[in-house]
Amino acid sequence: MIITLKDGSQREYTEPKSIIDIAFDISEGLARAACAGELDGRTVDLRTVVEKDSSLNILTARDPEGLSAMRHTCSHVLAEAVKRMRPQAKLTIGPSIENGFYYDFDTEPFTREDLDNLEKEMKKIIKEGQKLEKFTLTREAAIRLMEERDEPYKVELIQELPENEEISFYRQGGDFTDLCAGPHLMSTKPIKAFKLISSSMAYWRGDSSKAQLQRIYGTAFASKEELNAYLEHLEDIKKRDHNKLGREMRLFTTVDVIGQGLPLLMPNGVKIVQRLQRWVEDLEDNEWGYIRTKTPLMAKSDLYKISGHWDHYKDGMFVLGDEETDKEVFALRPMTCPFQYYVYKNDQHSYRELPLRYSETSTLFRNEDSGEMHGLTRVRQFTISEGHLIIRPDQVEEELAGCLDLAVHCLTTLGLQDDVTYRLSKWDPDNREKYLGDEEYWEKTQGKIRDLLVEKNVPFTEADGEAAFYGPKIDIQAKNVYGKEDTMITIQLDCAIAENFDMYFIDQNGDKVRPYVIHRTSMGCYERTLAWLIEKYAGKFPTWLCPEQVRVLPISDKYESYAGEVAKELKKNGVFCSVDNRSEKIGYKIRETRLDKIPYMLVVGQQEEADKAVSVRSRFAGDEGVKPLGEFIEQICREIRTKEIRVEVEGEK
């Protein structure tokens, strides 16, 4: 057989060979660094035997797939260490993930001290250089093995596999064996740089009705230098985490007696959201041709049955009442679309009136799982820049493009345009009962969105099963500091729902015609956007969004009166400001202002008062010198009006 390597060279063998043997044949150094193989484009274990002509690439920890195999092995080392220290702990699953690995255990919670001790035990296992041996069993024998080892979660996993399935295991050293498909390293010895990061609670199979487990997160790299760089990155992440930083900056808080997923926006957070909301509303109403509505926060179940949400989305709604015992059952609204349809239906419309672009700053309610709650990004009550466009079929392309342009404009103004990816969210043809319409409907509507993204030169991915039940979507995605992806903005094409609501317009021939609907957000959820902005700017927002834009610092109490005059002029011009009148030294006040992430501080003393001026220090340029008060007000008002994003000077971090 002929093996074609990555560089195009070939090796010929007269009998089958394992990938690790081929690696040794190429070079002993390569074999020692090998983590996995890429055989005909598929990542496989080093123990895989090649029996025919194939293309082969030996993967090391410098390759993403090779690093993944190393991390997967590291998760098994962790599991063995846990079993050594807590023999009664039950094993569940332990995969490699984007930035490392995790393993879930049924045991008592882990402390940081426990993790440190586990690291020491893992180092012993690695130093022992334990070989990993792969073996397979029949399904029946595999169940028996795991029952003998008292591993009920492994038994459950095996029982779900087909009866004729051959089940693979890896034996690590003499005592530890785990159910696993691989791939894995040949031994534990090549693991050089790893760290256990944290522990948390997790549910078995991600289901809150099932057992609570203890998850340990870890990471591993090819070298200590890479590991140290990643750990430094994690420290930066902790500083940017909106859940921590947002509370420290008194932007929001949560209270147990109010409830999970129901954050309280503090005055500083309200100021930011208020600015965002006023900007978006003015933008939509004055520049993009939207008509504003205000609709109820709840409705009878009858409305949601017409829209289809009762059948497709009821589990995600807060239902008030019981259909079996109550005359009327209500539900808090999870979206605004069916309400706005009745605004449209209140009058008869001609084809000349379309498109009608309805928008609303909508407070919505969704019954998210308690395990999904996180800060401001996953909540049960939130406010959204929601809109629905009622359009003629011939207006689809133009109006979809307009919705995308508006979303990009909002992202660009906020400085977030480079932090997003685009996804065409499609239906799942294998789960047809979940969706309205037939295959032709979905191919047609998905094609409209695909054509738009291609025409706009927008790079995008496609994902089955992510569409709304009534139509496909453009989902604009972003990751938080921990790498978790969320949908920030969505644009949905719906050519089916008008039938449910008997919506129509009168065409040029006097006939009734069903309109199409575009469901969209211009900026998305305000709470989630606030979280995104906190992490993007580490709390140092662009000036126009800052809850406090200027702090006036009198050098001593003799200049408090002038400081008050300066603040009064700033406030008259719409600038958020305060005066620090505390009896503290000016150096202390400057340091505190910098720590509070205020864009501008104005120091005033005898000379500034005499000249009606201010000494300006900013996050962006450091010491900007003395300026007439009027000149500074003109400068900052222009910056706020244009929503300029100034780059921070190095010394002001």
Binding residues for Zn(2+): 337, 388, 519
> Cα Rg for the chain, rounded, in angstroms?
30
Separation of first and last alpha carbons in the chain: 61
CB–CB of 191/166 below 8 Å? Answer: no
CB–CB of 581/554 below 8 Å? Answer: yes
The phi and psi torsions of 479 (rounded to 5 degrees) equal -105, 145
HSE-CB at 276 with a 13 A cutoff on CA atoms is 29
**Amino acid of residue 628:** P
Q: Comparing C-alpha atoms, which of 85, 126, 98, 125 is closest to residue 214?
A: 85
**Amino acid of residue 547:** P
Cα(210)–Cα(203) distance, rounded to whole angstroms?
A: 6
Cα(195)–Cα(198) distance, rounded to whole angstroms?
A: 9
E strand segments, 205-355: 212-221, 252-253, 264-265, 291-292, 298-300, 319-320, 330-332
Q: Comparing C-alpha atoms, which of 132, 18, 117, 135 is closest to residue 72?
A: 132
**Tally of residues, the chain:** 653
Helical (H) or strand (E) element with 600: strand 600-604
Cα(299)–Cα(320) distance, rounded to whole angstroms?
A: 10
The phi and psi torsions of 212 (rounded to 5 degrees) equal -85, 130
DSSP string across 524-537: EEHHHHHHHHHHHH
CB contact set of 501 (below 8 Å; sequence gap of 6+): 306, 307, 338, 341, 342, 345
Query: Rounded to an integer, what is the distance from CA 409 to the centroid of its chain?
Result: 21
**What number of other Cβ atoms are within 10 A of residue 312's Cβ?**
17
Cα(18)–Cα(46) distance, rounded to whole angstroms?
A: 7
Kindly tell me the sign of the dihedral angle through the C-alpha atoms of 61, 64, 65, 70: positive
